[in-house]
Amino acid sequence: MAEPLNDRQRQYLLAALEVDQHQERWHKLAFGRGDFDESRRPASDWRALPFGVLHGLGGPIPTMLRTECQGADEGSGSTWSALARRGLLTVQHRPTYRHPDQPLPHITLTAAGRKHARELKGEKPAPKPKGALSRATWKALAAGYRAGDQGLWDERGGSWYGGVSWDMWLLLLRFRGSRPRWFEEVSRLLTEEERRSALVLGHRLHGVQITEEGRWKYEQAWAVNHQLHPDIEAPNPNASVPSAKGGNAAESV
């Protein structure tokens, strides 16, 4: 970086990191608390942090980022612009999530900005442990392992098998690398109750099921990834073994 940040720029950058990390934690837990709208938001949306004041029935409410910056004044815009010119963040004037009639400046940290803010805090990135998987991959693997031979089905519609989006399942199902497949697509005939449901169309229900290779991978990766992602429900493979729970038999697609 050409010049060190001044005190105000440091304050704003660190405030943005604090709110960014809070928002990341909030987003990761969205599906578990039933906030499906939040769980479906792309990172480009939920990482954009509104800066300003929202107006509701209870009066003006400052956004979290404005509060973390200890308010705002006529120089706030210049400070954000200076950080943006350094490539540490972007500034976009856009509608506010759940308040579309109240557009505000939105601050999004870049990878360089997040890295520099952590350096300012004295944080050093921890080396990635051997066997670590991405959060989304581990969530899918754990969901498949929990379901066992019963498989994961889309009874409610929306293509969210085990709380994991279909886009993620496609990446896992269509992976053509050197490793064996961890999942396979399956289908089964609908029950009479499902046929009467408006949520299910056709005569078959489609889903995904973990393979033997996927079970082996889960068991090998459990210790490391359970420690990295403790909030994801992932049973200890040494304590219990998933088994079929009855129901209609699934057929590989």
Q: What is the CATH number of the domain that holds 84?
A: 1.10.10
Using the Cα atoms of residue 28, residue 31, residue 33 and residue 37 in order, give the sign of their dihedral: positive
Taking only the tens place, the pLDDT of each residue in 19-69 is: 999 999 888 887 777 787 888 888 899 999 999 999 988 789 999 999 999
Per-residue pLDDT for 17 more than 80? Answer: yes
Kindly report the number of other CB atoms within 10 A of residue 9's CB atom. Answer: 18
Is the pLDDT confidence value at 14 over 80?
A: yes
Looking at the fold, whether 153 and 101 belong to one and the same domain comes out as: no
Residue 57, pLDDT score:
81
Question: Does pLDDT of 183 surpass 70?
Answer: yes
- Domain assignment present for 2: no
Q: Closest Cα partner for 192 from 180, 181, 203? A: 203
pLDDT attached to residue 2: 56
Domain count of the fold of the chain? 2
Sign of CA dihedral 108, 109, 110, 111: negative
Domain stop point among 95, 120, 145: 120
Task: Quote the pTM value.
Answer: 0.60
Single residue among 91, 120, 149 that ends a domain in this structure: 120
Q: What is the pLDDT of residue 253?
A: 58
Q: Percent of the chain having pLDDT more than 90?
A: 54
Q: Looking at the structure, do residues 93 and 153 belong to the same domain, yes or no?
A: no
How many Å apart are CA 60 and CA 53, to the nearest integer?
6
Q: For residue 245, what pLDDT is reported?
A: 44
pLDDT band at 243 (very low <50, low <70, confident <90, very high): very low
Q: Which domain holds residue 147?
A: 135-252
